[in-house]
Amino acid sequence: MINVVTWLDSNKYRSEISAVCAGNGIRIVADEFEGAQDFLRTFDSIDANIDVLVIANSNLENIDKKSFFEDVCVTEPNLRIVIVFPGYRNQYIEEQISEYKALGIYEIIYEGQRLDENYLVDVIKKGYIYDYEINVYDESEEAPKPLSPKPKCITIGVMGLTRGCGVTNMAINIADYIALAEECAVKAIDLSGTGNLRFAKGKKVTFIVHSNIDIPRLQKTSRAIIYDFGTPYNISSKGKLLSTYDNFNETDIELFKSCDLKFCMCFADSWHIGKLKYLLNDKAWKRTIDKSYVFLLDKVPDKMRLGHPKVNIYSRNDKTMLRHIEELFSAKGGG
């Protein structure tokens, strides 16, 4: 369930939005306020974690936005904020938009002739968007047929074998690399349970941090999806599975195994290196290990490389490992 607070123009879309949200696992916690001070008092008193705030620009025109959003974020520091402007993007000068960007607010949508409730729900559910993705003009719904088959969505999973080994950072870097190299639509999805991807910044990547993600739909609209699986397993230094962490989910593990490319990360010191044995020696995992698996360490001991000559093992700073990504795109039709 996604908890949302909305503060839009009067009662303009209240009933329509409430109905669509209710059918999509979204709970509107509050949507009536008499002004900025009433909003802050009410918001501070809400006894629930709020995931998303949707607020009309018109409600903020005569107040100190910096002070207002600082107060909001003190109450809910991990809040996503979506600003709604009336009309179309081309009706506003850059200064009106950059005022929000200077405050770290990048999610801006435009009503056009009328705010589309289903589109708003998609924004709430899917994660970060940026205003350059939104249509500037009211374009025709009729689109030309593609001249060539649409390339298959490429999926890449990143999983840690120990905590703190840089899984989220690697997922962000891979997503940024693909978006820049291929100039294509890239999504980065947080399945780690930490929500850390919500702090990522990247104008060519959409970061998705909420539950109830419609992955099949995203695969239809994306050239590449990068999954941050976090660290699901608690593995001993000798490669024995001790337990699973809170973010462990069997469905997510199967999703990881189905990815076109799988990155497994760990450290190379004597205490951590043994954790790799769990994947390399466990009967269930050993059957799945093939060339689509890439093991990334802070450095690669010669003994490890000699002991597993057929396994892809690299230093996480070794750019050679990027060839696996390049080959994947080359084999599946380019960008």
Task: Supply the CATH number for residue 182's domain.
Answer: 3.40.50.300
Asked if the structure places residue 41 within a domain, the reply is: yes
Do 204 and 158 share a structural domain? yes
Among residues 199, 206, 212, 130, which one has the least CA distance to residue 168?
199
Q: Indicate the SS3 state at residue 248.
A: coil
Do 158 and 75 share a structural domain? no
Do 107 and 6 share a structural domain? yes
Tens of pLDDT, residues 173-226: 999 999 988 888 789 999 998 888 877 877 688 888 866 678 888 888 888 999
Do 231 and 291 share a structural domain? yes
What is the arithmetic mean of pLDDT over 59-70? 91
Tens of pLDDT, residues 42-60: 999 988 888 899 999 999 9
Do 272 and 161 share a structural domain? yes
137-141 contacts at long range (C-beta below 8 A, 24 or more positions apart): 137/88, 137/90, 138/88, 138/112, 138/113
Range of the domain at 232: 154-331
Distance, in Å, from the CA atom of 51 to the CA atom of 31, rounded to the nearest integer, reads 14
| DSSP-assigned beta bridge partners for residue 261 | 156
Do 164 and 225 share a structural domain? yes
Do 162 and 37 share a structural domain? no
Distance, in Å, from the CA atom of 73 to the CA atom of 79, rounded to the nearest integer, reads 7
Q: Of the residues 83, 104, 133, which one is the last residue of a structural domain?
A: 133
Q: Distance of CA 143 to CAs 110, 139, 147, Å? A: 21, 10, 12
Dihedral pair phi/psi, residue 316, rounded to 5°: -65, -15
pLDDT tier, 137 (very low <50, low <70, confident <90, very high otherwise): very low
Asked if the structure places residue 174 within a domain, the reply is: yes
**What total of structural domains would you count in the chain?**
2
Asked if the structure places residue 146 within a domain, the reply is: no
Q: Of the residues 68, 98, 133, which one is the last residue of a structural domain?
A: 133
